[in-house]
Chains A and B, each alone.
Chain A
Amino acid sequence: MAHEQLVLPLRVISLGDAMRLKRELEVLNDYAHQTELRQSGAEPKTLPKPSSALNDLAQENSLNLLKTEDREAAIAFLGNLVESAPQVHISFASEPSSIFMAKITSWFRDRIDPILLINVGLEPSIAAGFTLRTLNHYHDFSLRQQFSDQRELLLNGIRESQATEPL
């Protein structure tokens, strides 16, 4: 199975998640390889319990982790992902929940790129909204930016109130 056809599960959001998943797969592959060597070339019957992300990866891509070629395909896919996957950095005012991030990740992968990795950051000063940083651009969709954009409107409001009621 070519790695281009693999689907990245929604649990794998950031580059760190991808690297952890890749390491887990490599450990699993080493374990399977050692088991094969001990059992004279026979594939292992069981493997250590995989993580939820690895489990999702296997399920969503119909991979059999007991098979060497599936594991290596997954490792190659993840290696390529770590090396060259497009990334964005998104910041929120508070820590997002996993469900929330799943929805955000789903939108990005549906609309922008299916293997997009999202690094999540915290920026409490933005109060509400979010900021998005790509490789070349910085998008500010925060409440702070909204206030800055509407500065003239606020100034006019204050000046009108000053005119009617001087300080």
Chain B
Amino acid sequence: MTIWWLAVILVSIVSAGIAFIWLITKLSHLSESSKNPRQQLLDAANTDVEHIFNEEFREELRNRGRLHFEKIIGENAMFLQQDLRLTTSQLNEYMKQELGSKLREEFTKYEESITDAKQMAIDSIEKTKETIEEQRQMMSQQMSSEVKAEKQRLIGRFEQNMADIINHYVLEAIGKQIDLSDQLEYILSELEANKQSIAEDITHGA
């Protein structure tokens, strides 16, 4: 019993739905037919445009535009590349010139510095040589005077002590060969020659 009631309810619901859809569709047809002609023309033009500018035509246009764009891009790229190359070469040239001039300036300064340093070194060496030469001459003179003074001193000492030196030499050379017996005559003659003086010394001393 319930199932039969449920089926009846469902059938009635479905029927009501179908009727509602039909009504809606009917109403939409009625509304479209009621639009103005201008709108209808626009709709017709749109429909024609859709027919003319269809998907293939649009694809064709897109392809042509793409090719044209690529061409323009290629040309601009080429110009840009040329400009870039030119700029690069100019930049290289400029850099070469600038660097060359800078390097030349620096090298010139460096050479000048080296020349100055060399000159200073040469001057310093010359001054050192002059100083050394002066010192050498001074030391030479000093040495010469000292040697001269030492020589004079030695000669003076020799002259002062010459008797002792010769006596020492004679003593070393022939001292052992001098016999007192050989000197007796000399000793007696000396005593005889100074007899008076010796006698006076002894007499007065005694």
Chain A residues engaging chain B, CB cutoff 8 angstroms: 84, 86, 88, 92-94, 96-97, 100, 103-104, 107-108, 111-113, 116, 124-130, 132, 134-137, 139, 141, 143-144, 147-148, 151, 154-155, 167
Asked if B175 is at the interface of the complex by the 8 Å CB criterion, the answer is yes
The distance in angstroms between the C-alpha atoms of A134 and B175, with both chains bound, is 27
**Nearest A residue (CB) for B202:** A86
Residues of B within 8 A of A103 (CB): 184, 188
**Nearest A residue (CB) for B201:** A134
Q: Please give the distance in Å from B144's CB to the nearest CB on chain A.
A: 15
Asked if B56 is at the interface of the complex by the 8 Å CB criterion, the answer is no
A134 contacts B198, CB within 8 Å?
Answer: yes
Contact digits for B109-135, partner A, Cβ 8 Å, 1 yes 0 no: 000000000000000000000000000
| Candidates A84, A96, A143; contact of B167 at CB < 8 Å | A143
Known: A86-B206, A155-B162. A129 touches B198 (CB 8 A): no
The distance in angstroms between the C-alpha atoms of A92 and B197, with both chains bound, is 20
Known: A112-B199, A129-B186, A129-B190. A144 touches B164 (CB 8 A): yes
Chain B residues engaging chain A, CB cutoff 8 angstroms: 151, 159, 162-164, 166-168, 170-171, 175, 178, 180-181, 183-184, 186-188, 190-192, 194-195, 197-199, 201-206
Known: A86-B205, A129-B183, A130-B187. A139 touches B194 (CB 8 A): yes
Residues of A within 8 A of B202 (CB): 86, 88, 112-113, 116, 134-135
B198 contacts A112, CB within 8 Å?
Answer: yes
| Candidates B151, B170, B184, B197; contact of A127 at CB < 8 Å | B170
| Candidates B162, B198, B204; contact of A139 at CB < 8 Å | B198
The distance in angstroms between the C-alpha atoms of A147 and B192, with both chains bound, is 21
Q: Please give the distance in Å from B186's CB to the nearest CB on chain A.
A: 7
Residues of B within 8 A of A137 (CB): 197, 201
Cβ contacts A to B, 8 pairs, < 8 Å: A86-B203, A93-B175, A112-B202, A127-B170, A134-B201, A135-B201, A136-B201, A147-B167
Q: Please give the distance in Å from B170's CB to the nearest CB on chain A.
A: 5
Q: A-B pairs with the 4 shortest C-beta distances?
A: A135-B205, A147-B163, A148-B163, A134-B201
A147 contacts B198, CB within 8 Å?
Answer: no
Residues of B within 8 A of A141 (CB): 187, 190, 194
Residues of B within 8 A of A148 (CB): 163
The distance in angstroms between the C-alpha atoms of A167 and B151, with both chains bound, is 10
The distance in angstroms between the C-alpha atoms of A128 and B167, with both chains bound, is 9
Q: Please give the distance in Å from B177's CB to the nearest CB on chain A.
A: 10
The distance in angstroms between the C-alpha atoms of A151 and B164, with both chains bound, is 10
The distance in angstroms between the C-alpha atoms of A134 and B194, with both chains bound, is 13
Q: Please give the distance in Å from A128's CB to the nearest CB on chain B.
A: 5
